[in-house]
Every structure is written in C-alpha cells, then in structure tokens.
Amino acid sequence: MSGFLMAISAGLCAASAAVTAKFTFSSEEGERICYFFHYITFGFAASYDTQVSLVLRAVFFLLTLALNGLMWTTYVKAMQIIGTVKATLTNTSSNLLFTAVFGWLLFNESHSARWFCGATLIVTGILLMQHGGMNQTEHVKGHDESQDGDKKDR
C-alpha cells in the first residue's frame, strides 16, 4: 500500500473513531443508535432499553479504541514511507474531509463558511510548513556538500 493511501486511511480511521466516540458518549446519539439497532434487529422501533444502550455504548467504545489504534499504525507507516510532513498533510486533510462528510451524512450537520475557511487555513499552514521544511533541507544539504568539498581539498 502506498504511503499516501495509508495517510488517507489514517484520516478515515480518525474520522470514524470520532463518529463512534460520539455514539459512545452523546446521550442523544446513543439513544438514536439504540432505536436504530432495535429497528434493524426486530423490524420495529422499540422503546429505549438501558441494557441494550449500555452494550451498544461498550461496543462503540471498543470500536473507538480499535479505530484509533489502526489510525496510529497506518499514520506511522505512512510517515516512514512518504515522510512526516507529507503524511501529516495528507492525514489532516483527509480527516477534515471525512469528518465533514460523516457529520453531514450521519448527524445532519451543516458546516458554515467559517468552518471551511478554518479547515483551509489548517491545510494551508501545513503546506507552508512542508514548503519551508523542504527549503531548509535543501539549504542544509547544500551546506553539507560544500563542507565535504572543503575537506577533500585539504
């Protein structure tokens, strides 16, 4: 798997972990998923059941932990393959995108222009850091090569 695909997968896992955490800790979303589970399982929406809710919350908590572990594993592998800055840029961008899509699809959230401006500023900042890091690496590399040349002349 390519490093960029791993970084995108890490962003997807992070956004998915946020969704499962919301189902775990939000009482309103916990009730909603409980009703949905009853509907899928029994074909009708039953009344709120505390025991089923606790079991579902425990399952979603474990899913949150698993998705976070998978996110860190794929993110670290992506950093090893394509470098820290590229992996961070790709992971952050995909996480923001998937978070927006999941929020819209699952929770009927709408994102304001302010949210999109903030997301754009975050990605732009990471791009600028990447560009600055590349220039600094080239400068250090050129400096090291000139020192090597001085040693050969001696």
pLDDT tens-digit readout, 64-116:
999 999 999 999 999 999 998 889 888 988 998 899 889 888 888 888 899 88
Q: 111-132, pLDDT tens digit by residue?
A: 889 988 998 898 888 778 777 7
Confidence of residue 151 (pLDDT cuts 50, 70, 90): low
- Region 16-41: mean pLDDT is 81
Sign of CA dihedral 92, 97, 102, 104: positive
Angle between helices 84-107 and 50-82 (to 10 degrees): 150
Per the listing, tokens 């979303």 go with 29
pTM metric for this prediction: 0.73
pLDDT for res 52:
74
Q: Are 90 and 12 in contact (CB under 8 A)?
A: no
Asked if residues 23 and 33 have their Cβ atoms less than 8 Å apart, the reply is yes
- Statement: residue 149 has pLDDT above 60: no
